[in-house]
Amino acid sequence: MTSRQRLLAALEGKPADRVPISTYELCAFNQGSFENNEPSYAGLMAYIAEHTDCVMMWNPGSDEQAAISSATVETAVETWEEKGKRVVRSVLRTPSGDLTKTVKTDPNIKTAWQTEHLCKSPADVDAWLSVPYEPVRYDFSSFPCVRSTLGDRGIVMSSLADPVCRAMDLMELGDATVWALTEPEHFARTLAEIHRRGMANLEQMLECKVVDLYRICGPEYLTPPFLPPVYFEKYVLPYLADMVDLIHRYGAKARIHCHGRIGRVLGMILASGGDALDPCEAPPDGDITLADVKKRVGDKMCLFGNLQMKLLEHAGAEEVRRKSRCACARPKRAAVTSSCRRPRPSTSRCRKKPRRTTRPLSTRR
């Protein structure tokens, strides 16, 4: 089987010649990413291109401006250096007042720290949503090149945000959690409006072009210990199910992205109708083993992930082999063994050649 055939078989619950192996965002065919432009990664990326099954993350361009809308909104941006850090402050001038966001980055570090979130209160969220909704238009002009470059070595996956993801990202996480707990009516109204806009945009995107797989991000914000499962049932499941249904109507597959403790919400994730789930983190990062996830999911979903990046970065070769073989153990429905994310190194760290901790792992079923 080709990698494309193998991955599609896994997503459809059909037999495959072996368990697909993915390095998640570490994609050998994404020529714009740091790992494909850093010389010390050349050997690793060549190995990944030859031996793994690529799930290439790609999104179309768009004219989205703010608040899930293409409406023109003035934004003032100021940049300066402060104690060796680069500081970027953006002021969004909404019809109901200014909203400010500040982001700091360290030299040679990929992580960007959002030290001031756009919204500090429910009133700020109302100001954000005062930006009038105008449908977002999408640009798929680069897709033929992406599809041609990838060939039969994998599938294309686009990422989407559910309403909870959009809402919770507006505030600092603690403030957003308090908002959901103490202002339930306002929180519910906000999610409903975000969903209305998001679904209209999603249908517009699907009308233009359908890719193989859509990753829906956001459910993890309302998993324990942030909020009890009843909030997941009320604020995540209905919108997630709507998104999955729309994706299915256009003939594509939906993958639910949910970090953390999924044990108490796994039944609701299944009820969404999604075709796949990632990253299936085992304790202590999650609260359920991969074996238990497989047992509860049965043949209803394809499972991605389970290998934590910290394992690949810090563990010895034998431990990596052992946990990889465990992840590849035959499930009731095909799974994709994958890391849970890609590494986020500084460029200074990249000068040290990454070590290979494993020899090729047989994954025959």
Residue type, 49: A
Q: Give the integer Cα–Cα distance in Å for 132 and 68.
A: 9
- Whole-number pLDDT of residue 52: 93
- Whole-number pLDDT of residue 6: 95
Place of tokens 């990046």: 309
Q: Give the integer Cα–Cα distance in Å for 255 and 195.
A: 18
- Whole-number pLDDT of residue 108: 80
Phi, psi of 189 (to 5 degrees): -60, -40
- Whole-number pLDDT of residue 265: 97
- Whole-number pLDDT of residue 326: 83
Tokens of 195: 């969903």
335 contacts 21 by C-beta, under 8 angstroms: no
Q: Between vectors from CA 176 to CA 175 and to CA 178, what angle results, nearest 5°?
A: 65
Task: Going from the first residue of the chain to its last (365 residues), give the mean pLDDT of each consecutive group of 10, the final group possibly shorter.
Answer: 96 91 87 87 92 94 97 97 95 98 90 95 98 98 95 96 98 97 98 98 97 98 96 98 98 96 97 96 90 92 87 87 81 58 45 39 36
Q: Give the integer Cα–Cα distance in Å for 268 and 230.
A: 10
- Whole-number pLDDT of residue 331: 55
What domains can be seen in the chain, in order of their start residue?
A: 3-69+131-350 (3.20.20.210), 74-117 (no CATH)
- Whole-number pLDDT of residue 222: 97
- Whole-number pLDDT of residue 365: 33
Tokens of 338: 């994958």
- Whole-number pLDDT of residue 338: 62
Q: Give the integer Cα–Cα distance in Å for 245 and 261.
A: 25
- Whole-number pLDDT of residue 61: 97
125 contacts 119 by C-beta, under 8 angstroms: yes
